[in-house]
A and B are shown apart, each in its own frame.
Chain A
Amino acid sequence: MAADLQGDGLTRAEGSGRPPHPVDRGAVPRGGDGPVHVHRAYPHDSAHLHVQGAASYLDDLLEPEGTLHLAVGMSPAARGRIAAMDLAPVRAAPGVVRVVTAGDIPGRNDISPALGDETLLADTHVAFHGQAMFLVAATTRDAARRAARLGRIEIEAQEPSVTVEDAERRDERVLPDYAFGRGDVATALKAAPRMLEGRLRIGGQEHFYLEGQAALAIPGEDGAILVHSSTQHPTEVQHVVARILNVPDALVTCEVRRMGGAFGGKESQATQWAALAALAARVTGRPCKLRLDRDDDFALTGKRHDFRVDYRLGFDADGRVSAYDVDFLACCGHSADLSQGVVDRTMFHADNAYFLPAARVASRRLKTNTVSNTAFRGFGGPQGMLAIEKAMDDVARLTGRDPLDVRLANLYAPGRDETPFGMKVEETDTLRAIMEGLERSSGYRERRAQVDAFNAGGGWLRRGLALTPVKFGISFTLTHLNQAGALVHVYTDGSVQLNHGGTEMGQGLYRKVAQVVAEEFGIGLERVRITATTTDKVPNTSPTAASAGSDLNGMAAKVAASTIRARMAGIAAALWGVDEEAVRFRDGMVAAGAESMTFADLARACHQQRVHLSATGFYRTPNITWDRASATGRPFFYFAYGAACAEVLVDTLTGENRVTRVDILHDVGASLNPAIDIGQIEGGFVQGMGWLTTEELVYAPDGRLLTHAPATYKIPVSSDVPADFRVELFPNSARQDTIYRSKAVGEPPVMLANSVFCAIADALASLDPGRPVPLDAPATPEAILNAALALGGGR
Chain B
Amino acid sequence: MYAFEFHRPTSLRQAASLLGKAEDGRLLAGGQSLLPMMKLRLASPGTVIDLGAVPGMTGIERKGRSLVIGAMTRHAEVETSPVVKEAIPALAHLVSVLGDPAVRNRGTIGGSLANNDPSADYPAACLALGATIVTNQRRIAADDFFQGVFTTALEEGEIIVKVVFPIPSRAGYEKFRHPASRFALAGVFVARRGGEIRVAVTGAGDSGVFRWHEAEEALKGRFAPKSLDGLTPSTEGMNSDIHADAAYRAHLVGVMARRAVERALRR
- B221 contacts which chain A residues (CB < 8 A)? none
Does B179 contact A712, Cβ atoms closer than 8 Å?
no
In the complex, A507 has a CB within 8 A of chain B: no
Does B242 contact A782, Cβ atoms closer than 8 Å?
no
Task: Find B251's partner among A656, A706, A714, A785 (CB 8 Å cutoff).
Answer: A785
- B176 contacts which chain A residues (CB < 8 A)? 654, 656, 781
- A625 contacts which chain B residues (CB < 8 A)? none
In the complex, B194 has a CB within 8 A of chain A: no
Closest to B177 in A: A656
| Bound form: Cα–Cα A785–B250 in Å | 12
| A620: min CB distance to chain B, Å | 45
Does B180 contact A654, Cβ atoms closer than 8 Å?
no
Does B255 contact A653, Cβ atoms closer than 8 Å?
yes
In the complex, B243 has a CB within 8 A of chain A: yes
| B159: min CB distance to chain A, Å | 30
In the complex, B181 has a CB within 8 A of chain A: yes
Closest to B174 in A: A654
In the complex, B230 has a CB within 8 A of chain A: yes
Task: Find B242's partner among A694, A707, A794 (CB 8 Å cutoff).
Answer: A707
| Bound form: Cα–Cα A782–B248 in Å | 7
Does B245 contact A694, Cβ atoms closer than 8 Å?
no
| B227: min CB distance to chain A, Å | 15
In the complex, A740 has a CB within 8 A of chain B: no
| Bound form: Cα–Cα A710–B100 in Å | 15
| Bound form: Cα–Cα A694–B180 in Å | 9
| Bound form: Cα–Cα A711–B182 in Å | 9
| Cβ proximity bits B222-249 to A, threshold 8 Å, 1 near / 0 not | 0000000010000000000011110010
| Bound form: Cα–Cα A385–B223 in Å | 50
Known A654-B252, A785-B251, A795-B230; judge A714-B245 contact (CB<8 A): no
In the complex, A698 has a CB within 8 A of chain B: yes
Task: Find A713's partner among B180, B230, B248 (CB 8 Å cutoff).
Answer: B180
Closest to B258 in A: A653
- A706 contacts which chain B residues (CB < 8 A)? 242
Does A694 contact B179, Cβ atoms closer than 8 Å?
yes
- Chain A, range 689-729, C-beta contacts under 8 Å to B: 694, 698, 706-707, 710-714
Does A712 contact B180, Cβ atoms closer than 8 Å?
yes
| Cβ proximity bits A775-795 to B, threshold 8 Å, 1 near / 0 not | 000000110011000000011
- Chain B, range 127-149, C-beta contacts under 8 Å to A: none
- A694 contacts which chain B residues (CB < 8 A)? 179-180
- A711 contacts which chain B residues (CB < 8 A)? 180-181
| Bound form: Cα–Cα A712–B244 in Å | 11
| Bound form: Cα–Cα A711–B178 in Å | 9
| B182: min CB distance to chain A, Å | 10
Does A654 contact B255, Cβ atoms closer than 8 Å?
yes
- A795 contacts which chain B residues (CB < 8 A)? 230
Does B255 contact A712, Cβ atoms closer than 8 Å?
no
Known A653-B255, A654-B255; judge A710-B248 contact (CB<8 A): no
- A713 contacts which chain B residues (CB < 8 A)? 180
Known A654-B252, A654-B255, A795-B230; judge A782-B179 contact (CB<8 A): no
Does A712 contact B252, Cβ atoms closer than 8 Å?
no
| Cβ proximity bits A192-232 to B, threshold 8 Å, 1 near / 0 not | 00000000000000000000000000000000000000000
- B179 contacts which chain A residues (CB < 8 A)? 694, 714, 781
- Chain A, range 47-84, C-beta contacts under 8 Å to B: none
Chain A facing B: main interface SS = loop
| Bound form: Cα–Cα A781–B255 in Å | 13
| B13: min CB distance to chain A, Å | 38
| Bound form: Cα–Cα A698–B181 in Å | 16
A-B contact count (CB 8 A): 31
| A785: min CB distance to chain B, Å | 6
| Bound form: Cα–Cα A781–B230 in Å | 20
- Categorize the interface residue count of chain A: 10 to 19
Does B242 contact A712, Cβ atoms closer than 8 Å?
yes
- B244 contacts which chain A residues (CB < 8 A)? 782
- B256 contacts which chain A residues (CB < 8 A)? 654
| Cβ proximity bits A113-134 to B, threshold 8 Å, 1 near / 0 not | 0000000000000000000000
Closest to A460 in B: B255
| Bound form: Cα–Cα A785–B256 in Å | 14
| A692: min CB distance to chain B, Å | 14
Does B180 contact A794, Cβ atoms closer than 8 Å?
no
| A159: min CB distance to chain B, Å | 20
| B72: min CB distance to chain A, Å | 26
* Residue among B180, B181, B242, B243 with the highest chain A CB neighbour number at 10 A: B180
Does B248 contact A785, Cβ atoms closer than 8 Å?
yes
| B178: min CB distance to chain A, Å | 8
Task: Find A794's partner among B181, B230, B251 (CB 8 Å cutoff).
Answer: B251
- B252 contacts which chain A residues (CB < 8 A)? 654
Closest to A697 in B: B242
Closest to A713 in B: B180
- B245 contacts which chain A residues (CB < 8 A)? 782
| B42: min CB distance to chain A, Å | 14
| Bound form: Cα–Cα A707–B178 in Å | 13
Task: Find A710's partner among B180, B230, B243, B251 (CB 8 Å cutoff).
Answer: B180
Closest to B185 in A: A781
| B29: min CB distance to chain A, Å | 21
| Bound form: Cα–Cα A794–B252 in Å | 10
- A714 contacts which chain B residues (CB < 8 A)? 179-180
| A721: min CB distance to chain B, Å | 14
Closest to A795 in B: B230
| Bound form: Cα–Cα A712–B245 in Å | 15
| B82: min CB distance to chain A, Å | 28
- B242 contacts which chain A residues (CB < 8 A)? 698, 706-707, 712
| Bound form: Cα–Cα A713–B181 in Å | 9
- B180 contacts which chain A residues (CB < 8 A)? 694, 710-714
Closest to A716 in B: B179
- Chain B, range 153-208, C-beta contacts under 8 Å to A: 176, 179-181
| A726: min CB distance to chain B, Å | 25
| A654: min CB distance to chain B, Å | 5
| Bound form: Cα–Cα A703–B176 in Å | 29
| B229: min CB distance to chain A, Å | 8
| Bound form: Cα–Cα A653–B251 in Å | 8
| A122: min CB distance to chain B, Å | 27
- A698 contacts which chain B residues (CB < 8 A)? 242
| Cβ proximity bits A672-694 to B, threshold 8 Å, 1 near / 0 not | 00000000000000000000001
| Bound form: Cα–Cα A584–B244 in Å | 67
Does B243 contact A712, Cβ atoms closer than 8 Å?
yes
| A737: min CB distance to chain B, Å | 46
| Cβ proximity bits A397-440 to B, threshold 8 Å, 1 near / 0 not | 00000000000000000000000000000000000000000000
- A707 contacts which chain B residues (CB < 8 A)? 242
- A781 contacts which chain B residues (CB < 8 A)? 176, 179
* Residue among A653, A654, A785 with the highest chain B CB neighbour number at 10 A: A654
- B230 contacts which chain A residues (CB < 8 A)? 795
- A786 contacts which chain B residues (CB < 8 A)? 248
Closest to B249 in A: A782
| A779: min CB distance to chain B, Å | 12
Closest to B245 in A: A782
| Bound form: Cα–Cα A794–B255 in Å | 9
| Bound form: Cα–Cα A706–B241 in Å | 10
| Bound form: Cα–Cα A653–B244 in Å | 15
- B251 contacts which chain A residues (CB < 8 A)? 785, 794
| Bound form: Cα–Cα A711–B36 in Å | 12
- A654 contacts which chain B residues (CB < 8 A)? 176, 252, 255-256
| Bound form: Cα–Cα A707–B255 in Å | 27
Q: Which residues of B contact A (CB under 8 A)?
A: 176, 179-181, 230, 242-245, 248, 251-252, 255-256
Additional 6 contacts, C-beta under 8 A, given A656-B176, A782-B245? A654-B176, A654-B256, A694-B179, A707-B242, A785-B248, A785-B251
- 18 A/B residue pairs, CB under 8 Å, sorted by A: A654-B176, A654-B256, A694-B180, A706-B242, A707-B242, A710-B180, A711-B180, A711-B181, A713-B180, A714-B179, A714-B180, A781-B176, A781-B179, A782-B244, A782-B245, A785-B251, A794-B251, A795-B230
Q: Which 5 A-B pairs have the closest CB atoms?
A: A714-B180, A698-B242, A653-B255, A714-B179, A706-B242
